[in-house]
């Protein structure tokens, strides 16, 4: 059994469990701990280091999750075999561009006189810890999604179907709106699934919602004042600000954007997410939707941007059709993406413009080339037309529903959980916490336990990013609120992540 003598620094900002993790990881990568070698039990190592057993368990759990260690039932912890050549600690290379006689320090290389300890550098003969960003054990990111093996196989079939067509024109410039067959497939899907009423001539395919908002800015001859709820989707907020559009934060209530606040804002555009507002999780009822449409129809040049965020994933109640499908004025601009329903790396979004804006689009933006490769467009078309997308969505709905229920079950009965919001749809929930700690303190202490959480305050706009001003009135208190996403986490990590998070409040 390998004996470990680890010099721990109780005054370091790096948690003790992280120091243990980095020491063992460094010895594994440097070969000081050989593949198959047994490590001390957590009880023995905790006694030798004079720390709690839970501290050692945190370090071992992280090493297990990253594949550095393995366990044998009843037999303890053993070092895994690490592929040689992937990481060469202590290797030094000279750079031609560096001054004569100096050594350049690159990723994975240690400065002269130092040795690498994992991703940390220490003077030869000792361990010194300087924290660099690390992957957490459990990341409750609201952007996480799953990509199952069955969908991987389906995507390969879509690629093969695209290649089998032998269409050399795919290597030529295409329509600025996007390929016609893909736009038609998107129209068919939106009509069946979301009740969106449009023709393929109204659909613009682009690489991400931010790009499409930049196109819209030119179509509407911005800048123009935009009303947004606070808190909101900050990427859209930052995009509008970069375009020079004055953003007018509008308070929200339990039904969504407040109509009185919208009227007072003087905004020309209202940016809303009626199906599942991010990050609050509000589902806008039909009455409020009709009121918003009336606001848009009362003055020339007013439009509503409907970002149909997370519309595919709803777990309770019947889905409410899109706002665009109920629009009698032609004032709703519909935004959608495949980043959540398929995967973020797809980088394909779409915008449905009202018919009255198409002439302005062709006049001002029709000369732009599509930002999505035609080959990628045709793969996506095959994925949609071949029925793979529908089957993928059905599987993901079942998977995410199970993770949603697992997370809610783990939170049930916890003394530190004050209230839960937004659990009916989407890939994250809001948890209002009973504690005297701030959101920032919770985030820091959770990170020290290998858990990444997302404070609601980070999504506020208009200078109201934390504290009393940020919280919508219907939350009913000034307690910290956390976003906990579950799309990219299996149930085992959800359970362990909540257990570690709960330690902060015990």
With 0.95 as the threshold, say if the pTM is over it.
Answer: no
Q: Strands 247-250 and 252-253, how do they pair?
A: unpaired
The per-residue pLDDT of the chain, averaged, comes to 84
Across the range 261-283, mean pLDDT stands at 92
Q: Who wins on pLDDT, 469 or 471?
A: 471
Q: What is 340-379 written as a DSSP string?
A: TTT-GGG--EEEE--GGGHHHHHHHHTTSPPSS-HHHHHH
At residue 130, does pLDDT exceed 70? no
Is residue 122 within a helix (H) or strand (E), and if so which, with residue range? strand 120-123
Confidence of residue 84 (pLDDT cuts 50, 70, 90): low
181 has a pLDDT exceeding 90: yes
pLDDT in tens, 194-227: 999 999 999 999 999 999 999 999 999 989 999 9
Give me the pLDDT at residue 463, please: 55
How much of the chain exceeds pLDDT 90, in percent? 54
- Per-residue pLDDT at 5: 79
Which of 467 and 426 is assigned the larger pLDDT? Answer: 426
CA quadruple 265, 266, 272, 278: dihedral, nearest 10: -30
- Tokens standing for 101? 């006689």
> Taking 60 as the threshold, does the pLDDT of residue 478 lie above it?
yes
pLDDT of the residue at 160: 92
| Residue 70 clears pLDDT 80, i.e. is over it | yes
Rounded mean pLDDT of 97-106? 37
28 has pLDDT over 90? no
Tell me what the mean pLDDT of segment 39-54 comes to: 88
Evaluate if residue 185 carries a pLDDT over 60.
Answer: yes
Phi, psi of 5 (to 5 degrees): -115, 105
Find the range with the poorest average confidence among 60-69, 259-268, 269-278, 295-304: 60-69
Backbone angles phi, psi at 455, to 5 degrees: -70, 140
Supply angle C-alpha 115, 119, 123, rounded to 5. 25
Residue range 330-343: average pLDDT?
Answer: 93
Structural domains in the chain, CATH included, are 16-135 (1.10.10.10), 139-145+391-503 (3.90.1150.10), 149-387 (3.40.640.10)
């Amino acid at each position: 059994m390998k004996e470990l003598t680890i010099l721990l620094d109780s005054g370091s900002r790096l948690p003790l469990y992280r120091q243990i993790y980095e020491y063992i990881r460094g010895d594994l990568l440097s070969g000081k701990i050989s593949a198959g070698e047994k490590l001390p039990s957590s009880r023995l190592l905790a006694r030798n280091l004079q720390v709690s057993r839970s501290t050692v368990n945190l370090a071992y759990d992280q090493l297990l999750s990253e594949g550095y260690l393995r366990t044998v039932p009843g037999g303890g912890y053993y070092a895994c075999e690490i592929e040689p050549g992937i990481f060469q600690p202590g290797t030094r290379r000279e750079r031609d561009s560096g001054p004569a006689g100096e050594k350049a320090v690159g990723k994975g290389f240690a400065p002269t006189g130092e040795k690498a300890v994992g991703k940390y550098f220490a003077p030869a003969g000792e361990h010194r810890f300087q924290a660099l960003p690390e992957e957490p054990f459990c990341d409750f990111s609201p952007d996480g999604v799953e990509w199952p093996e069955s969908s991987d196989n389906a995507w390969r079939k879509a690629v093969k179907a695209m290649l089998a067509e032998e269409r050399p024109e795919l290597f030529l410039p295409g329509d600025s709106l996007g390929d016609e067959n893909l736009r038609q497939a998107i129209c068919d899907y939106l009509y069946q699934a979301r009740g969106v009423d449009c023709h393929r001539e109204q659909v613009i395919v682009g690489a991400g919602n931010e790009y499409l908002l930049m196109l819209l800015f030119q179509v509407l001859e911005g800048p123009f004042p935009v009303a947004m709820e606070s808190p909101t989707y900050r990427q859209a907020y930052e995009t509008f600000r970069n375009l020079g559009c004055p953003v007018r934060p509008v308070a929200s209530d339990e039904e969504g954007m407040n109509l009185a606040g919208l009227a007072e804002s003087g905004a020309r555009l209202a940016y809303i997410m009626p199906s599942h507002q991010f990050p609050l999780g509000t589902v806008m009822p039909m009455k409020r939707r009709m009121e918003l449409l009336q606001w848009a129809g009362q003055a020339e040049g007013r439009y509503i941007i409907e970002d149909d965020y997370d519309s595919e994933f709803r777990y309770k109640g019947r889905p409410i059709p899109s706002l665009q499908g109920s629009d009698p004025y032609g004032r709703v601009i519909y935004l959608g993406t495949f980043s959540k329903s398929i995967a973020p790396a797809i980088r394909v979004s779409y915008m449905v413009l009202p018919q009255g804006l198409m002439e302005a689009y062709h006049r001002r933006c029709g000369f732009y080339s599509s930002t999505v490769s035609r080959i990628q467009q045709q793969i996506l078309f095959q994925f949609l037309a071949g029925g793979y997308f529908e089957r993928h969505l059905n599987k993901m709905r079942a998977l995410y529903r199970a993770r949603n229920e697992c997370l809610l079950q783990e939170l049930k009965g916890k003394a530190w959980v004050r209230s839960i919001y937004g659990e009916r749809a989407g890939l994250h929930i809001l948890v209002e916490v009973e504690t005297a700690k701030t959101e920032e303190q919770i985030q820091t202490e959770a990170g020290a336990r290998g858990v990444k959480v997302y404070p609601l305050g980070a999504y506020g706009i208009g200078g109201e990013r934390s504290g009393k001003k940020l919280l919508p009135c219907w939350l009913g208190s000034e307690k910290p609120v956390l976003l906990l996403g579950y799309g990219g986490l299996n149930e085992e990590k959800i359970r362990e992540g909540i257990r570690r998070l709960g330690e902060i409040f015990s």
